[in-house]
Structure 1
Amino acid sequence: MERGMTVIFSWFLLFTFIVPGCHASLDGRGSLLESFKERLELLEKSLQMRSTHAHVETLEKKLELYIMKNDRLLQENQALKQRVETLEEQLTSKVEILTTDVSDMQKKIDNCQSEVYKLYKQNFTDFVSYENLFNTNPSEDQKAAISNQGVHTSIQKRIVPPTSEPRDQVAFYAYMSTNEPANLPRHHTLIFDTVKTNMGLGYHKGDGIFIVPTAGLYVFSWTVTVEINGWASVEIVVNAEVQGAAFAEDFNNWDSGTGMIVVNVDAGDHVFLRMQENGRAVIHSNVRGRTSFSGWKLQ
């Protein structure tokens, strides 16, 4: 390009100054000069257009690359989204299956314990706490008592048949291990998670419900304790029917209220405690005073 400009400029000097005789007048020389200027401007414009066109082509190529990269990223993002959704569905399905398996396993464990309890009652006349059978670290005295009892009963059955059926004993006692949250709502079921006695395996600490093992006349008792400025009214329910209620209230000190009922119930009936109305402050339970639930079969 620079070489072409040099040649043009040389011709311009030649025709302008070296060969002045080729032109008749100054007007002719001026016309030639104007012609050269126009040609130079055209050449400059042409060069500028070529340069701009090349720059535009470069930008277009870069834009195409960016568009291709963006499309690829969108595809990858869509693939990842689908994979996450698939994994979520698989995880949800597995959780549901595991939940069902755990529920079935718990039912089998409950049935197994019930069967063990029945066998235990059939083979032992002197009743030792059933919970000792499932104690992973029994004391030496417990081991000896159960072992000796088994031998003694086995010998008795072979020599002297039992004169009566095994005693049908049902009794439970449980209390709250800690305070309940403040302001419990109406019909909130109270759960007594620390079980001290559960002969007959009727009480379930998971939901606070006593399921009657055998029909008969039962006594149920409960105690509720509140702290300062507390209020709690607790009712006892057999299936869907309220059988009694007790309350505790105090503005200056702690207070306790106790209720007791005697009622005929059938096997499979559900007995539990719940808030009779909305409470105020917390229901108290610690070593100084326990909120508790108990019951036993009279006959």
Structure 2
Amino acid sequence: MYSSISIIVMLRLFLLISCILFANGSSFEERLKILEIIVDKQQAEMDLLKQANIELKQENLQLNHDNTELKSRVKELELDVSRLKGDGMHNNPSYESHINAAMYDNVDSINKSRKLETSDWHGTPNVQNDRNTHGIASLSKKELLQSERIAFHIYLSSNKCFNNHQIIVYDTEVLDIGNGYNEHDGIYIVPESGIYVFTWTFIADLAEYAVTEIVVNGATQGWTISDGSHQSILYNPSSGLVLARVNVGDHVFIRRVQGRGCTAYSGGYVQPTFSGWQLSP
């Protein structure tokens, strides 16, 4: 922009000088003075144009800076909106109220369409659908279990001695959706029929070994061997995994078969576990 304006100004100056030099009736001194005045005027205009150009550049830099700040703010707002749409919404009271209302509307709809009774929910009497926490009691136990996939995860909290043919009692419950595991006897009672995945780990103490098995409804479905008997300085965990089709009420447990010593080791970075989940109904 600056160069094009300069060319225009120089052309104007050239034309004026040409007119003066070839004008008649003026002495050389007069024409020279006129030229000096014109040159001074044009120089003043050039200075003004230079100053205007500097100011325009400064404005352009400021605009670029403002544009960068606006882009940064837009990104921040997009992140805020994303958090509100995602995990952050569970901390929003109005959102929680909306979800609770939707949940109880769904319960009401199920109860009205199916006319459910609660005789199979531990004898609980029918409850009016008044959108309170007791409204869920009108759903059957089976439907409540189906609302969340059956799963359990238990571990052995400390060293225990289990002899041959004895059930290994994993004593600390981490998860038990369906309330099927008993941490006092080590037996898992299937709460709902289906295809299940069962997995377990066992760790024999140093200088000992143990064979373990998983028993599903009275039948052995798999074995593992944890062998720490060969003067090893490291523990040797064993693990097993089986898939089984089971029915409501079937018993599943882990049992020691044979070995040397009786210790099931738990400590440090090793911990025996017993887990399972429903793969499909």
Alignment TM-score, normalising by the size of structure 1: 0.46
Q: Which is richer in helix?
A: 1
Alignment TM-score, normalising by the size of structure 2: 0.49
**Looking at CA atoms only, which structure, 1 or 2, has the larger radius of gyration?**
1
